[in-house]
Amino acid sequence: MVGIKKSFPGVKALKGVSFEAYPGESLALIGANGAGKSTLMNILGGVVLADEGVVNLDGHATPIHSPADAARRGIAFVHQELALMPTLSILDNMLIAAFPSRNGLIDYRQGEALCREALARLGYDFNLHTQVRDLSPGDQQIIEIARTLLGKSRIVIFDEPTSSLTSRERERLFEIIRYMKSQGTTIIYITHLLDEIFTVCERAVILRNGEKVAQSLVRDLTRDEVVEKMIGSQEVVSYFQHHVRERGPLLLTVENLQREGYLDRINFSVHRGEVVGLWGLLGSGRTELFRALMGLDQITGGRILIDTGRGPHPVKPRSRKNPMGLITEDRRTDGLLLPMSIRHNLSLANLRSFISRLWPFIARGREEAAARDYVRKLNIKSTSIEQRVATLSGGNQQKVVVGRWLQTSPLLFLMDEPTRGLDVEAKAELHSLISELADSGAAVMFVSSDLDEIMSLSDRFLVMVRGRLVRELPRDSTKHELLATASGISSTGGVSEP
Amino acid sequence: MSAKQRFRPGAFFLSYGFLMAIVVMIAVFSLYSPNFFSLKNGLFILHAAAPSMILATGVALVLMTGKIDISIGSTAYLSAAIGVVLMMRLHVNPGLAMLIVLPIGAVLGAINGFVVVILRVNPLIATLGSYFTFRGLALQISNSMTISIPAQLGNLGSLRIGPIFVDILFAGIVLAIYQVIHTRTIFGRHVMAVGNGAEVAQKVGIPVDRVSFLTFTLAGFMASIGGVLTMFQVSSLSPTLGQGYEFTAIALLVIGGVSLFGGEGTILPGILLGALALTIIQSGLNFIGASVFVYPLVRGGIIFIAMYADSLKTMSKRHVKVLAEQ
C-alpha cells in the first residue's frame, strides 16, 4: 500500500501511509487507539475507500472498491466483531458468500466436502449442521477463519482477534496463524497487546496519529521501544489545570466482582471528592465494569458496597441507580429524548418533585425555573429552554445529561468516554465540570481512550487488561507506564523507565 | 472439539410444543364429537386451509428476512377483482384473465418492495399503506359489489381428483416448491442470512436489497394465487375477500415457528403445522357446537402464546449474539 490518505469529517485519519507485506510472513500493525490501524485495513478490505494512494498486489496497482472486490483478489478480513449469522448452520455460514451450485440448486455435497477439508486443515471436525449460535466465541472465530481458507485467500487480516478468546483458544489461534504462514499466506495482525506481537509476528509497522513512525523486524525491537514509538515524545497536552483536592471519606468498595467471561475478580474502592481514571485498551472490560456497577448486567459473584453516610452496605442493582449516575458517549442510550425540549429532558427523571399530592399535574412554573437554573449553572448554550435537544451540539447535549443526573444528586458519577465526538471547547467545559463535581464532594470514575485527557484529569488510575484490574497507578505516572501496563506487559519487571 | 449440544427441555418444548398441542386438540375434539376424526373431515380442513397456506408461504420469506407484509389480503382482493373485471366487463377469456392476474400480484408485491427497499420506508408502515390503497382500488373497480363468477370457474374450487380436492394438491405443490427454494437455493439461504442482520449480511457480500425486494414480489405473487383460489371456492368476488388473511397468515407462520425477528423458521413442516393448528381449532369448535364468537377468542389466545414463545426463543438467541460480539 502506497501513500494512503483518508480523512473523516474533522479528522485526518491517515496522512499518507505506505508499507509492504510479503507472502508467508506475519506483519504486526501496531498503534494506540485512533492511530489509524483499522482505517488502513478497512481500505485494504474494501470496507472504506481511500482518498488518495494505491494498493499494489504482486506489483500491479489494484483498485479495491468493495468487500466483494477484496474477496475476489484474495484478501480476507477476520473482523473483531465476527461476521457470522447465528441461526444458520456452520455449513451455511462458511459457504454463504460463494455457494457451489448445480442446476440452480446448492450443491451441498460438494459444499460439505469443501468445508470439511478447510476445517480439517485447521485441525477441526465440527458437526457442520450445528447452528453457529450454539458455539463458543472461540469456535465461532474458527468458523470465520476457516471461511477465509475456502476462498483461497492470499492475505488475511486479523483485527484484534484475541479479544474474546480464552488463553487456550488464543494458543490455538497462534497455531493456526503459523500454519497459514507456512502455506504462504500473508498475515496482517492488528493488536494492542504487545506480547502477542512477539509471539506470532516477524515484522511490525507502528502507526501514530495516522502516520507510520517505524517499521522493523520484531526481533530487533524491544517492548520499551515499541511503547515509546506508539506514544511518541510529545508532552501531555494540558487543556486543563489539575488541582489537588482533599480526598474525602470512603464511598464505594468493590469486592471480587465477577461476571462470567467479562470481569474477573475486580477489587477497588473510590473515595468522595476524587476523580479516578479507568484506563485500558478497547475490549479490556472498562464499559463492562461500569455496566456491572450500575446493575445493567447481572454479575456472577462479588459484592458492591456503598457508604451513603451510614457505613458501607451492599446495594441491590435496582437501588444502585440512586447514588450513581452513568454518562456514556452515546447520548441516546443515556435516555436523552432528542425530539423533546431541554426543559422536558431536564425534568424527566425528577418529575415527582414538580407535582403535589393533591394536584397531580406538573407545576410548569417550577419546572421552568429548575430548567433555567441548570441551563445557567452548566452553561448550556441554547436559544431557550424550549429548544429541541436534537438541535443542540454534542457538548451541550452531554451537559443536559449531566444536568438530569445532578437533580437526583448522585454521589458517584460513572462516565464512559464522555467527551468522544466533542470539540475542543466542549471538552474543556466538560473537564472543568468533572472537576467541579469532585470539588463538591462527589466521586467521578471515568473512562477515556484519550491518554492525554485521562492523564490531565485523574487523581489516580486503575488499569484494566482482559477483564482484570491489574494495577493502580498514582497521578504522577508517565504515559509510558500507563500504556505499557495496559498492553499487558508484566506490571513490575518488564518495564524500565525510558 | 465439536459443539456442545445439550438437551434443553425448554428449547425442546419451544420447538415441538405446537405439534404436541395439535395432537391434544385432535384428541379432545374427537372425544366430544366422534365424527371429527375422519378422513372426510380431515380433507375438508385441508381444503379450507389451502388459500391461507399459500398466502402464508409467500409472506414466510418476508418474515424470515426480519420484515413484514400486512398487505397480502388486499393484494389478494385487488388481483382477484382485476381478474373479474377483465372477465365480466371486458369479456376477456376467463382462462386468460386468470393468467393475467398472477403477474399483477407480483407487480403489487414489487411496489411494496420498492417502497421498503428503495424508499426505505418501515415495512409495517409501507404495507399498511398498501393494505388500504389496494383494497380501496379494488372496491373502486368492483363498485363494492359481490360479483358471481362463471360456473365453470366456480366449479374449479370444489374440483376433486378421487376424494382429494385439487386445491389441496395445489397447495401441496406450492409448499414443496418453496421448501426447495428455501433449503436448496442460494436465494433461500440469503433470505435467512439477511434475517440474521442486514449489516453482517452486507459485510459478507450478500445483495441485501435485491433479496428483500424479491421476497416482497414473491409475497404479492402468492397472494394473487391465494385470492383467485378463494374466489373459486366461494364462486364469487365479495368485497370482504381476503380481509384478515394477512393476520391469519402471520399467525399461522408464528405458530409454525417462523420468527418475526427474522432468520428463523421452516416452510415444511412449519407452515403445514401452523395451518393445521388454526383450522383444526376452527373446525373443532364448529363440531362441538361452540358459539361462533368463541373462535376469535381462542385464536387470539393461541396467537398470543405463539408470539410469547417466539419472544422467548429470541431472547436466548440474543444472549448468544451479545457474547459473539465481544
Per-residue model confidence as pLDDT tens digits over A286-311? 888 888 888 777 788 888 888 877 76
Using the structure block, give the residue that is written with the C-alpha cell 498492553: A487
User: Are B263 and A85 an interchain contact pair (Cβ–Cβ within 8 Å)?
Assistant: yes
A201 pLDDT higher than 80: yes
What does each C-alpha distance from A77 to A46, A151, A338, A450 come to in angstroms?
A: 10, 11, 36, 27
Tell me the per-residue pLDDT of B181-207, one tens digit each, with 9 for 90 and over.
Answer: 998 899 999 999 999 888 888 877 788
Distance from CA of A132 to the nearest CA of B (A): 9
β-pair type (A101-102, A75-78): unpaired
Supply the mean pLDDT for chain A: 81
Least confident of A454-463, B87-96, B311-320: B311-320
Q: How far out from the chain centre does Cα B85 lie?
A: 26
- Chain B residues at the A interface, defined by Cβ less than 8 Å, are 1-5, 180, 184-186, 189-190, 192-193, 195-197, 200-201, 203-206, 263-264, 317, 320-321, 323-326
Least confident of A307-316, A411-420, A440-449, B107-116: A307-316
Q: Which CATH number fits domain A250-486: 3.50.90.10, 3.30.420.40, 3.90.100.10, 3.40.50.300?
A: 3.40.50.300
Rg (CA), chain B: 20
pLDDT given for residue B319 in this prediction: 44
Least confident of A483-497, B23-37, B90-104: A483-497
Selection from A2-16, A67-81, B55-69, B273-287 with the highest mean pLDDT: B55-69
What is the share, in percent, of chain B residues with pLDDT greater than 90?
43
Q: Which of B214, B274, B209 is nearest to B69 (CA)?
A: B214
Pick the residue with more confidence: B222 or A412? B222
Longest dimension (CA), chain B: 69
What is the share, in percent, of chain A residues with pLDDT greater than 70?
89
Residue A71 sits at φ, ψ, to 5 deg, of -60, -40
Vertex A244 angle, CA A242 and A247, to 5°: 130
A362 pLDDT higher than 90: no
What does each C-alpha distance from B290 to B38, B241, B251, B252 come to in angstroms?
A: 20, 25, 22, 22
Strand partners for B164:
B161
- The cell numbers describing A58, all together, are 504482486
Tell me the per-residue pLDDT of A178-195, one tens digit each, with 9 for 90 and over.
Answer: 988 898 889 999 887 777
A490 pLDDT higher than 60: no
pLDDT given for residue A333 in this prediction: 62
Contact between B200 and B65 under an 8 Å Cβ cutoff? The reply is: no
B225 pLDDT higher than 70: yes
Q: What residue ranges of chain A are covered by domains with CATH 3.40.50.300?
A: 2-231, 250-486
Least confident of A175-189, A391-405, B97-111, B267-281: A391-405
B322 pLDDT higher than 50: no
A83 pLDDT higher than 90: no
User: Are A124 and B1 an interchain contact pair (Cβ–Cβ within 8 Å)?
Assistant: yes
A33 CB contacts (<8 Å, ≥6 apart)? A192, A281, A282, A449, A450
Instruction: Say how many CA atoms lie within 13 Å of A244 toward its Cβ.
Output: 3
Average pLDDT, integer, range A219-241: 68
Instruction: Say how many CA atoms lie within 13 Å of A320 toward its Cβ.
Output: 24
Per CB-CB distance under 8 Å, the chain B contacts of A135 are 3
pLDDT given for residue A497 in this prediction: 33
Q: Which band of pLDDT confidence, cut at 50, 70 and 90, is reported for residue B277? A: confident
pLDDT given for residue A235 in this prediction: 45
User: Are B3 and A99 an interchain contact pair (Cβ–Cβ within 8 Å)?
Assistant: no
A236 pLDDT higher than 60: no
pLDDT given for residue B110 in this prediction: 97
Q: How far out from the chain centre does Cα B151 lie?
A: 28
C-alpha B251/C-alpha A398 separation (Å) is 44
User: Are B206 and A135 an interchain contact pair (Cβ–Cβ within 8 Å)?
Assistant: no
Average pLDDT, integer, range A251-275: 87
A491 pLDDT higher than 60: no
Q: Which band of pLDDT confidence, cut at 50, 70 and 90, is reported for residue A86? A: confident
Longest dimension (CA), chain A: 81
Average pLDDT, integer, range A335-343: 82
Selection from A6-10, A37-41, A109-113, A280-284 with the highest mean pLDDT: A109-113
Assign residue B131 a region: left if phi > 0, alpha if psi is -120 to 50, beta otherwise?
A: alpha
Question: Best residue in A65, A80, A96 to probe B by mutation, most B CBs within 10 Å?
Answer: A96
Burial class for B46, CB neighbours closer than 10 Å (0-12, 13-18, 19+):
buried
Using the structure block, give the residue that is written with the C-alpha cell 429524548: A337
C-alpha B227/C-alpha B293 separation (Å) is 25
Strand partners for A157:
A77, A188
Q: Topology of A2-231 in CATH?
A: Rossmann fold (3.40.50)
What does each C-alpha distance from B190 to A494, B200, B270 come to in angstroms?
A: 50, 12, 19
Q: Which band of pLDDT confidence, cut at 50, 70 and 90, is reported for residue B318? A: very low
**pTM for the model:** 0.71
pLDDT given for residue B15 in this prediction: 62
β-pair type (B160-161, A203-208): unpaired
Distance from CA of B250 to the nearest CA of A (A): 20
Element (H, E) at A77: strand A75-78
B179 pLDDT higher than 90: yes
User: Are B3 and A134 an interchain contact pair (Cβ–Cβ within 8 Å)?
Assistant: yes
Pick the residue with more confidence: B228 or A46? B228
**What's the ipTM?**
0.79
Contact between A341 and A383 under an 8 Å Cβ cutoff? The reply is: no
Q: Which of B317, B269, B314, B313 is nearest to B11 (CA)?
A: B313
Using the structure block, give the residue that is written with the C-alpha cell 360479483: B147
Q: Which band of pLDDT confidence, cut at 50, 70 and 90, is reported for residue A7? A: low
Average pLDDT, integer, range A11-34: 82
Where do runs of H (alpha helix) occur along A201-301? 223-231, 286-294
Q: How many CB atoms lie within 10 A of CB B145?
A: 11
Where do runs of H (alpha helix) occur along A12-83? 37-44, 67-72
Selection from A56-65, A106-115, A313-322, A348-357 with the highest mean pLDDT: A106-115
User: Out of B203, B205, B326, whose CB is closest to A164?
Assistant: B326
User: Are A130 and B5 an interchain contact pair (Cβ–Cβ within 8 Å)?
Assistant: yes
Per CB-CB distance under 8 Å, the chain A contacts of B2 are 125-127, 130
pLDDT given for residue B136 in this prediction: 95
Q: Which amino acid is at B159?
A: L
B283 pLDDT higher than 90: no
Average pLDDT, integer, range B8-26: 69
Per CB-CB distance under 8 Å, the chain B contacts of A81 are 324-325
Average pLDDT, integer, range A478-488: 81
Q: How many CB atoms lie within 10 A of CB A474?
A: 10
Q: How many CB atoms lie within 10 A of CB A389?
A: 23
The residue in chain A having the minimum alpha-carbon distance to the alpha carbon of residue B197 is: A85
A5 CB contacts (<8 Å, ≥6 apart)? A12, A14, A15, A16, A17, A50, A51, A52, A53
Tell me the per-residue pLDDT of A264-279, one tens digit each, with 9 for 90 and over.
Answer: 888 999 998 899 999 8
pLDDT given for residue B180 in this prediction: 93
User: Out of A108, A127, A262, whose CB is closest to B3?
Assistant: A127
Average pLDDT, integer, range A474-478: 85
A140 CB contacts (<8 Å, ≥6 apart)? A82, A84, A132, B324
B2 pLDDT higher than 70: no
Distance from CA of B138 to the nearest CA of A (A): 37
Tell me the per-residue pLDDT of A380-394, one tens digit each, with 9 for 90 and over.
Answer: 888 888 888 888 877
Tell me the per-residue pLDDT of B134-164, one tens digit each, with 9 for 90 and over.
Answer: 999 999 999 989 998 888 887 887 788 878 8
What does each C-alpha distance from A467 to A257, A282, B62 come to in angstroms?
A: 11, 11, 41
Q: How many CB atoms lie within 10 A of CB B151?
A: 9
